[in-house]
Amino acid sequence: MSLLGTETAFAVGAEAAELASRGVKVYPFHLGDLDFQTPEHIRQAACKAIEEGKTGYCPNAGIKPLREALARDVGWARGLSLNVGNVSVQPGGKPVIGKFVMAFMDPGDEVLYPNPGYPIYESMIRFHGGVAKPYRFL
């Protein structure tokens, strides 16, 4: 477990809270926590889905209409030709980064990751036996 390291976003969060308490304007880019309420139409759709009994697991790759919409919209926005077979909806960045590292890295490999960036890159690389090498992102 020591290979996982620590989640540096939480340390940054404590520092950000301390700065904010002194009146410093802080932009909380260290976490993916939204600073606005879920829009009403999304809350209504979620309640409707619960009332319709849609409370179990969905297919591993995600709900097909959502994947189709993502393929269309992301493909258009990025100038790519995507189809539903190119899209998988996952429960967050950590599992995806972990799977990617396991699939493409061998123990001992040196792996570049953006810094500043998402702290889990370094944690997952080290956990799976790689050598994490930061590169300046900004």
Neighbouring C-beta atoms of residue 11, cutoff 10 Å: 12
pLDDT of residue 87: 94
pLDDT of residue 105: 96
The CA-atom distances, in angstroms, between 115 and each of 22, 66, 72, 79, 137 are: 27, 32, 31, 27, 5
pLDDT of residue 56: 92
pLDDT of residue 31: 67
Q: What is the pLDDT along the chain (138 residues), one digit of tens a residue?
A: 666 666 666 677 788 889 999 999 988 776 666 778 899 999 999 999 999 999 999 999 999 999 999 999 999 999 999 999 989 999 888 889 999 999 999 999 999 999 887 888 988 999 999 999 999 977
**In the structure encoding, which two tokens stand for residue 103, read together?**
């699939």
Decide the pairing of beta strands 110-115 and 131-136: parallel
Distance, C-alpha 19 to centroid of its chain? 26
- Using an 8 Å Cβ cutoff, are 107 and 129 in contact? yes
pLDDT of residue 11: 72
Cα separation, 115 vs 55, in Å, equals 38
pLDDT of residue 13: 78
- Using an 8 Å Cβ cutoff, are 114 and 121 in contact? yes
Cα separation, 128 vs 101, in Å, equals 7
